[in-house]
Homo-oligomer: A and B are copies of this chain.
Amino acid sequence: MANAAKVLNALGDPTRRRIFELVASRPRSVADAAEHVPVSRPAVSQHLRVLKSAGLVRDRAEGTRRIYELDQDGLVALRAYLDRFWDRALSRFQMAAERAARTAEANPSTDPDKEHS
């Protein structure tokens, strides 16, 4: 059961995000992932536990080692959360564009593409 809050919390940590990207690139064991990250093996194990509970990775036993691989559930949950704001963002963008168009019409020297915070 992946929810967006867990996913965002899980990917909020840089080390954990790096581990997720490693596992996403191809299935890996804990030791394998630990080799590519500047933290200890238990730390990687703990991060993978968080990623798993967020629905971002799955694990399967393979002999004495556990292989972690990408799980799509977390990504689906995050995308669903994102879509909640998508329409609003687009409509605001459209309104802003219309405002900018009117402004440009009234004052052609102002280039709306040049505006930045």
Also in contact, A117 and B78, with CB within 8 A (given A5-B14, A12-B13): no
A52 to B88, CA, bound (A): 17
Instruction: Say yes or no: B78 contacts A92, CB within 8 Å.
Output: no
Q: What is the size category of the interface that chain A forms with chain B?
A: 35 or more
* Residues of chain A from 56 to 97 with CB closer than 8 A to chain B in the complex: 58-59, 69-73, 75-79, 82, 85-86, 88-90, 92-93
Label chain A's interface by main secondary structure: helix
> Chain A: residues with CB nearer than 8 A to chain B?
1-3, 5, 8-9, 11-14, 17, 24-25, 52, 55, 58-59, 69-73, 75-79, 82, 85-86, 88-90, 92-93, 117
